[in-house]
């Protein structure tokens, strides 16, 4: 059994943590503007929200060919701080070459390698 009760409307606030965003280029008017779609995601890469944004004038003109500029610009406009790109450290292993010592039939080691006239066969 269930019952429904009417109440005076009350606002409820839900906090969502934005961990990343995606920028979709929806339309470009050359030398004028770009219409973008901004999509926000949480830490599990779940969709939070999406909205349009238009770049005009200096924002559009400064874009050039650098897509990193767009990410930095939009992060700044939305009050986000981009996380630094993690570049894996390359560790170079130093390998010391071990050269075997060659001992010959020198006078220093007469007992180890005696010189004989015997055949190997």
Q: What is the pLDDT of residue 49?
A: 95
Query: What are the residue ranges spanned by the domains of the chain?
Result: 20-78
Half-sphere exposure of 6 (CA within 13 A, CB side): 0
**What confidence tens digit (pLDDT) does each residue in 65-107 have?**
888 999 999 999 999 999 987 777 777 777 777 777 655 555 5
User: Cα separations (Å) of 81 from 26, 43, 52, 93, 112?
Assistant: 24, 15, 20, 36, 72
**What confidence tens digit (pLDDT) does each residue in 9-24 have?**
999 999 999 999 999 9
pTM: 0.62
């Amino acid at each position: 059994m269930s019952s429904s009760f009417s109440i005076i409307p009350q606002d409820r606030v839900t906090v969502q943590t934005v961990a990343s965003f995606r920028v979709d280029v929806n339309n470009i008017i050359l030398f004028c503007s770009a219409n973008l779609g901004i999509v926000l995601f949480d830490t599990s890469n779940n969709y939070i929200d999406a909205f349009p944004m238009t770049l005009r004038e200096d924002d559009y003109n400064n874009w050039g060919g650098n897509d990193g500029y767009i990410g930095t610009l939009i992060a700044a406009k939305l009050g986000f701080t981009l996380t630094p790109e993690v570049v894996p450290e390359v560790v170079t292993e130093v390998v010391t070459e071990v050269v075997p010592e060659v001992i010959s039939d020198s006078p220093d080691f007469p007992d180890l390698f005696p010189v004989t006239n015997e055949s190997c066969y």
